[in-house]
Amino acid sequence: MATLPYGSWPSPITAAALVERTVSLSGLQVDGDALLWVEARPAEAGRQVIVRWQPGTEPVDVLPAPFSARTTVHEYGGGPFCAHAGTVYFSNFADQRLYRGDRPITPAGARYADGDVSADGSQLACVRERHTDAGVLNDIVVLPTDGSAEPRVVAAGHDFYASPRFGPGGRLAWLAWDHPRMPWDGTVVEVDGTVVAGGPEESVGQPRWAPDGALHWISDRTGWWNVYRQGPSGPLSGEQGKALAPKDAEFAGPDWVFGQSTYDFLPAGGIVATWAGHLGILGHEPLDLPYTSFSSVRAYGDKVAAIAASPTRAPAVVVIDPATGEVDVVRTSRPNPVDPGYLSTPRPITFATTGGSRAHALFYPPANQDHDGPASDLPPLVVTSHGGPTAQASTTLELRTQFWTSRGIAVVDVDYRGSSGYGRAYRKQLDGQWGVADVDDCVAAARHLAAAGEVDGRRMVVRGSSASGLTALLALTTGVFAAGASLYGVADLAALATDTHKFEARYLDGLVGPWPEAAETYRQRSPITHAGRLSTPLIIFQGLDDKVVPPAQAEVLVAALRRAGVPHAYLTFEGEAHGFRQAATIRRVVEAELSFYGQVLGFTPADDIEPVPIERP
């Protein structure tokens, strides 16, 4: 192995490799013997294409250009299509109307998501969202699948709805919740308007009907998201279900988007489910599989289909035989696998943090089969954390992480207090503490690794996107980090509370405090309030079409940095919203970030990249 300074190692994981022939896979569904899923393609400006596969054939696109199956209900979307007997129904991104094939079946002026077709194929139920002068209105509607009549409202009055699912006898189940709660705080399952499960302090999700007519859902009433069953005989109201194979583990995650599926019913009996990085039959030991992350879990005949991944395997649509553990790969998000010699395998760590608590993270040490760092040096560290305070660090192969580690830069992905995956009690530790506990935990993770001799404590940087951008910006005021990066990060909590979309309009009530009563807390937790305390270089990336964190927040921060004389760079991107989707944007962002860190931390990247200009006082 050749010895080179950390950060300067040549790597085959280039910025171009992050997007070349790469797609994002989601929304796997089953229609007869066909599997269908959504591919988000950076090479097509982020267009989301429905793909169909049947045994003995190659996957084929269902949607020709320029159609894109993407809904903006709740802004974050998800659940953009459903299928029945070979016919696909989808929400088209350009106009948000529902389409049957290439024909619209709903009027213009509304958004649709999370559809389900009745057993006879005649009716389609879905979530509708209308933006009116009176505000944003959400409801559940049913319409003929041939579009012969306008949508008919079957549920209204709650602030939010999700997961309408047809059951036996024409019954319809759905989720509902109201401000100020988020779906991971308190939701209810209703059947034809009758509350079956859930409440203000119980998060329920994924209602669906078993083949025998029994209603199932996932609830965290014990502190952990487990699977529950009720019926099929007798009324559904009253007793709130029975836990199936209860376990101190999470069988679901937070419902940031529609259409998540972490369990399903096998035709021969039994429920296939995913929990804690495993997949198996509920009540049995998990299957021995080469994957550590599963989503879109679906019964597929007597087999199981899912989107699966691991630290060394890119996400792929797979078919698994639960009897043998045999796996068939149908489609991979990255056709050309990366040589494992350039991949870092994450190591879970738990460490002490403030308040006598403990927090969690995944640590990725540098890894490159061709290079090593000088014996007298330690690697720099990138501290990152997930966007969306209730999300969770994933063990899925993420080349953006491996981009750093294969160059000799360590990464720690922090599951600060409030993250999912560790039970409701851990999630609730962020209540009223966003901008405090998460910052403390990122700082504690960095200090823990530096004290253990894993990284160079003088060359630690912190980065974040969206909600974790706020965490990163506040962490920069602690004096622990040498630099930072914010990708469409929250800089002004007051602006976020007063200028955001309906789904998150009251989210901060729980994370920070009610607005405007807690205005002073919002001011103290806002990075722009502390811009004068920033003395370390910062790079900021912002999409100009972002409605979740509008560009105005980044511009206020940049102006404050300029006044304070803090070295910084500011890159904006037209046509990008909340989260970058276009290949050219993704490539420019990662190369600019590498250039920025190299200039600040004192290493020269091996890559031939355009240096990012740093504005200096």
- Per the CB < 8 A criterion, the answer to whether 227 and 245 are in contact is yes
Q: How confident is the model at residue 239 (pLDDT cuts 50, 70, 90)?
A: low
Q: 588 lies in a domain?
A: yes
Q: How confident is the model at residue 529 (pLDDT cuts 50, 70, 90)?
A: confident
Q: How many helices (H) and strands (E) does the chain have?
A: 9, 37
Q: What is the mean pLDDT of residues 313-332?
A: 96
Q: Tokens at residue 368, please?
A: 């490159």
Q: 21 lies in a domain?
A: no
If one counts every other C-beta atom within 10 angstroms of the C-beta of residue 329, the result is 11
Q: Give the span between the Cα atoms of 526 and 78, in whole angstroms.
A: 30
Q: Give the span between the Cα atoms of 423 and 408, in whole angstroms.
A: 34
Q: Per-residue pLDDT for 592 more than 70?
A: yes
Chosen domain end from 206, 224, 259: 259
Q: 614 lies in a domain?
A: no
Q: How confident is the model at residue 358 (pLDDT cuts 50, 70, 90)?
A: very high
Q: 5 lies in a domain?
A: no
Same domain, 268 and 244: no
| Residue 387 confidence (pLDDT) | 83
Kindly state the DSSP code that residue 237 receives in the 8-state scheme: S
| Residue 98 confidence (pLDDT) | 98
Same domain, 427 and 559: yes
Q: Give the span between the Cα atoms of 475 and 385, in whole angstroms.
A: 12
Q: Give the span between the Cα atoms of 614 and 510, in whole angstroms.
A: 37
Q: Give the span between the Cα atoms of 407 and 581, in whole angstroms.
A: 24
Q: Give the span between the Cα atoms of 149 and 173, in whole angstroms.
A: 22
| Residue 151 confidence (pLDDT) | 98
CATH code for the domain in which residue 524 is found: 3.40.50.1820
Q: What is the mean pLDDT of residues 208-235?
A: 90
Cis amide bond preceding 254, omega within 30: no
Q: How confident is the model at residue 10 (pLDDT cuts 50, 70, 90)?
A: very high
Same domain, 57 and 170: yes
Nearest to 112 by CA among 132, 134, 90: 90
Q: Give the span between the Cα atoms of 4 and 10, in whole angstroms.
A: 9
- Per the CB < 8 A criterion, the answer to whether 254 and 184 are in contact is yes
The 3-state DSSP class for residue 231 equals coil
Q: 11 lies in a domain?
A: no
How would you label 427-440 residue by residue, b for 16+ Cβ within 10 Å and e otherwise?
A: bbbbbbbbbbbbbb
- Strand duo 47-53 + 111-117: pairing: unpaired
Q: Give the span between the Cα atoms of 205 and 259, in whole angstroms.
A: 10
18-27, 192-201, 208-217 — which is least confidently predicted? 18-27
Q: Residues 100-120: pLDDT tens digits?
A: 999 999 999 999 999 999 999
Chosen domain end from 224, 259, 294: 259
The DSSP secondary structure of 338-405, one letter per residue, reads: PPGGG-PPPEEEEEE-GGG-EEEEEEE----TTEE--TT----EEEEE-SSTT-----S--HHHHHHH
Give the helix/strand (H/E) hosting 304: strand 303-310
Q: Residues 270-322: pLDDT tens digits?
A: 999 999 999 999 999 999 999 999 999 999 999 999 999 999 999 999 999 99
| Residue 564 confidence (pLDDT) | 83
Kindly state the DSSP code that residue 43 receives in the 8-state scheme: G
Q: Per-residue pLDDT for 491 more than 80?
A: yes
End-to-end CA separation in angstroms for the chain: 41
Q: Residues 143-185: pLDDT tens digits?
A: 999 999 999 999 999 999 999 999 999 899 999 999 999 999 9
CATH code for the domain in which residue 73 is found: 2.130.10.10
Q: 1 lies in a domain?
A: no
Burial class (CB in 10 A: 0-12, 13-18, 19+), 22: buried
Q: Give the span between the Cα atoms of 200 and 187, in whole angstroms.
A: 6
The 3-state DSSP class for residue 30 equals strand
Same domain, 463 and 594: yes
- Strand duo 293-300 + 242-243: pairing: unpaired
Same domain, 273 and 378: no
Amino acid identity of residue 329, one-letter, is V
Q: Which domain holds residue 438?
A: 338-601
Q: 7 lies in a domain?
A: no
- Per the CB < 8 A criterion, the answer to whether 475 and 443 are in contact is yes
Same domain, 177 and 275: no
Same domain, 528 and 436: yes
Nearest to 41 by CA among 57, 53, 52, 26: 26
Q: Per-residue pLDDT for 236 more than 70?
A: no
* Mean pLDDT rounded to a whole number for the chain: 95
Same domain, 363 and 297: no
pTM, to two decimals? 0.93
Query: How many domains does one find in the chain?
Result: 3
Same domain, 284 and 239: no
Q: Residues 405-451: pLDDT tens digits?
A: 999 999 999 999 999 999 999 999 999 999 999 999 999 999 999 99
Q: Per-residue pLDDT for 237 more than 80?
A: no
Per DSSP (E only), the strands in 111-223 are 111-117, 123-132, 135-144, 152-155, 160-166, 172-177, 188-191, 194-198, 204-209, 215-219
Give CA separation, 616 vs 342, 527, 536, 561, 564, in Å: 35, 20, 11, 10, 11
Same domain, 346 and 392: yes
Same domain, 111 and 184: yes
Q: 186 lies in a domain?
A: yes
Same domain, 236 and 298: no
Task: Considering only residues 499 and 155, tell me which one the structure prediction assigns the higher pLDDT.
Answer: 155
